[in-house]
Amino acid sequence: MSTERQDARRHPIILLQDALSNLCVFVCSIMLVVLIATFGWLVFGRYVLNVTPTWVEQLALLLICYITLLGAGVGIHENSHLGVTMFRDAMPQPVQKVVLLLSDIILAAFGAVMFVASIELFNFGWSTLLPMLNIPESFRTLSSVMCGGLLFFFCGLRAALRFSDMFRSTSFIQDLEEAI
């Protein structure tokens, strides 16, 4: 790995993004284990004890919201989300850079809108309790707030780096993507 690529990975903001992404993956992994364990308890309770634990379904819905939305934020950061690149790849290199920049700007804007709208939902649901769990409904919408924030943070920074690369002789974002 060249020195420039190593420098691209050592930038403090990139390290912060990587740490945040890794934290999200770790939290989602723990939630997945909890989800599997609680469904094991549901099956055991229903078929062995003949007493169905009703709270498991509500907890599963809550965990699925976090696993899905935090995972989506990580997918955006790691460029592992589903995308159709055939048209972009067929374009000349300068046009590809502009399309990638616009894509990041649009995703960052979507993340900002999602963040703001989800905060409204979070505030609205604070007085309503989730059935069986007796915790505020806002805990379910908190995952949307977090996802919107992650999208804005990850895509906004990537857009800023792509924009700055248009005026540099070396490409920071290309070195960064190649280092991944």
> What dihedral angle (degrees, nearest 10) is formed by the CA atoms of 116, 32, 107, 23?
80
- Using CA atoms, how far apart are residues 157 and 160, in angstroms rounded to an integer? 5
Closest by alpha carbon to 56, among 127, 121, 130, 122?
A: 130
| pLDDT value of residue 136 | 95
Q: Can you tell me the mean pLDDT for 155-175?
A: 79
* Maximum mean pLDDT: which of 3-12, 102-111, 171-180: 102-111
What is the C-alpha to C-alpha distance for residues 125 and 112, in angstroms, rounded to an integer? 20
The pTM assigned to this predicted structure is 0.85
Number of H helices, E strands in the chain: 7, 0
Locate 177 and state its tokens: 């993507």
Q: Residue 2 pLDDT > 90, yes or no?
A: no
Q: What is the DSSP letter of 163?
A: H
Give the position of tokens 């924009």. Answer: 163
Question: Does position 49 have pLDDT exceeding 90, yes or no?
Answer: yes
Domain boundaries, the chain: 3-179
pLDDT (average), residues 87-105:
89
Share of the chain above pLDDT 70, in %: 88
Write the pLDDT tens digit of every residue in 105-150.
999 999 999 999 999 999 999 999 998 999 999 999 999 999 999 9
CA atoms of 89 and 180, how far apart (whole Å): 19
* Measured distance CA(138)–CA(134) in Å, rounded: 11
In the block, residue with structure tokens 């804007």: 109
Predicted local distance difference test score (pLDDT) of residue 75 = 94
**Mean pLDDT of the 11-17 span:** 87
The DSSP annotation for 28-92 comes to HHHHHHHHHHHHHHHHHIIIIIS---THHHHHHHHHHHHHHHHHHHHHHHTT-S----HHHHHS-
- Axis-axis angle for helices 172-179, 138-165 (nearest 10): 120
Give the pLDDT confidence of 15-31 residue by residue, as tens digits.
899 999 999 999 999 99
